[in-house]
Amino acid sequence: MKQQPNLSFWKLFNLSAGFFGVQIAYALQSANISRIFSTLGADPHQLSFFWILPPLMGMVVQPIIGVMSDKTWCRFGRRIPYLFVGAFVAVAVMLLLPNAGSLGLTTQVVMWGLTGTMLFGLMSLMFLDTSINIAMQPFKMMVGDMVNEPQKATAYSIQSFLCNAGSLVGYLFPYIFTYLGISNTAEAGVIPNSVIYSFYIGAAILILCVFYTTATVREYTPAQMAEFCPQDTDGDTAQGTDAAGRKGTQKSALPIFCTIGLVQFFCWAAFMYMWTYSNGAIAAQCWHTTDVHAEGYQEAGNWVGVVFAVQAIGSVVWAALIPYLTRLTSTRIAYALSLILGGVGFISTWWVEDPYVLFLSFALIGCAWAGMLAFPFILFTNALQGNPKMGTYLGLFNCTICLPQIVAALLGGTLLHAVGGEQVMMLVTAGILLLGGAVCVSFIRK
């Protein structure tokens, strides 16, 4: 079986370039959803429930996209058609979601204790995360399809770099627009213009980045893929040595899937609590307010974008170091170190009252984020190298990302009650979870 050829830096870059735009959309969602729903009237103890939909949709959508794209061959490519569909739906929803409070919908309870505006926001969030998942998955699959094992760490590091660069831009948009004089406050129940314009610009960048990737990337044809993953006419793997190799690959990948999944459970539960409770925690710790209509709360909302941007910078720096770390030490040690640094960053927020000191905390958290974006996929795709069902397996692997977030969201309100309603303690909980994930890295066997 032939190995995929080495690709130049720019070919590796182009494979993931569109990820920059997709991640801007994801960053705007991550940093502003709790702020949006709080503004629309959600109780802090309900916030985690609004976060169930994103991972739930990811767990449903990404395996489906993986299976379908494995079987898709057309003149536009194998994975790229799904990238287009996801991006266009995401753009449409990004123009609607931040206007949930401005469409004249009822503010009276309609069902399940939710008002009409919150139901509209909830449905918009569902479609936004579904479309982001559809657009995001093809990038990881294309790296798996087109990059050989020696270049895999570099390819995913580039993807991690672009992911965090996109996050940096998306997180900073509301702060930048406020600095430029766009209103950061609005009447009760209405999303400020600084957030609305952020979603508009993010949508424009997303579609431009997707166009760039589709213009510069040519996926391998079925004939070329057959050279790397020999198959018979029935679509089953060829007999003999190749068939035995495929079965051996799948068998060896199963324990890696399970052990990485255990680490992923702790990591993604931790970041679910960061996305859900950072706004309330920072408002209470640094602006000493829990009133969602207070100016200080909206300022804290902008500052969440700033510290998330610092997290993204930390991630970019750490992602650039990952190829060197994996040469100096084992992949597992570098993975565990990343999570330990992030755990320390989360726990340190308990003592911070100066918003600028949060820069250090979130820079450390960024190290964990970079590790989470790179190491699991390096380990898992290397175990699957040459498997013709790469997309299917990566789609299933995404469940190790989504399921922990669903569990964390379901338990969020209960845990918040248990810690006395202090949202900063949920960030401390996130730190403890990351340290637990670092311990579980020792269970991974290459």
CA dist 395 to 24, 64, 296, 400, Å? 22, 7, 41, 10
Of 65-79, 289-303, 336-350, the poorest mean pLDDT is in 65-79
Q: Tell me the three-class secondary structure of 269-306, residue by residue.
A: HHHHHHHHHHHHHHHHHHCCCCCCCCHHHHHHHHHHHH
CB within 8 Å of 338: residues ≥ 6 apart: 318, 367, 368, 370, 371, 372, 375
Using a pLDDT cut of 90, give the percent of the chain over it: 27
Q: Is residue 237's pLDDT more than 50?
A: no
Which of 320-340 are b and which e, b meaning 16 or more Cβ less than 10 Å from the residue's Cβ?
Answer: eebeebbeeeebbebbbbbbb
Q: Is residue 120's pLDDT more than 90?
A: no
Decide: helix, strand or coil at residue 74.
strand
Of 240-254, 308-322, 345-359, 388-402, the poorest mean pLDDT is in 240-254
In sequence order, the β-bridge partners of residue 109 are 115
Report the sign of the C-alpha dihedral through residues 257, 259, 260, 261, in that order. Answer: positive
8 Å CB contact between 217 and 142 = yes
Using a pLDDT cut of 70, give the percent of the chain over it: 86
User: Binning pLDDT at 50, 70 and 90, where does residue 388 land?
Assistant: low
Q: Is residue 300's pLDDT more than 70?
A: yes
Q: Is residue 1's pLDDT more than 70?
A: no
- HSE-up of 238 (CA within 13 Å, CB side)? 11
pLDDT for 236 equals: 44
- 3/307 Cα distance (integer angstroms): 42
CB within 8 Å of 12: residues ≥ 6 apart: 147, 151, 154, 155, 158
pLDDT tens-digit readout, 361-386: 999 999 999 899 888 877 877 766 65
CB within 8 Å of 305: residues ≥ 6 apart: 31, 32, 171, 172, 173, 174, 175
Structure tokens at 321: 């170091």
Q: Is residue 254's pLDDT more than 90?
A: no
CA dist 225 to 1, 74, 141, Å? 11, 14, 13
Q: Stretch 303-323: mean pLDDT, rounded?
A: 87
pLDDT for 358 equals: 96
**Rounded mean pLDDT of the chain?**
82
8 Å CB contact between 130 and 219 = no
- 328/337 Cα distance (integer angstroms): 13
Short-list 316, 298, 334, 407, CA closest to 370:
316
8 Å CB contact between 282 and 333 = no
User: Binning pLDDT at 50, 70 and 90, where does residue 285 land?
Assistant: very high
User: Binning pLDDT at 50, 70 and 90, where does residue 206 land?
Assistant: very high
Please name each of the domains of the chain with its CATH number: 9-218+242-443 (1.20.1250.20)
Q: Is residue 93's pLDDT more than 50?
A: yes
pLDDT tens-digit readout, 219-235: 777 777 777 665 433 44
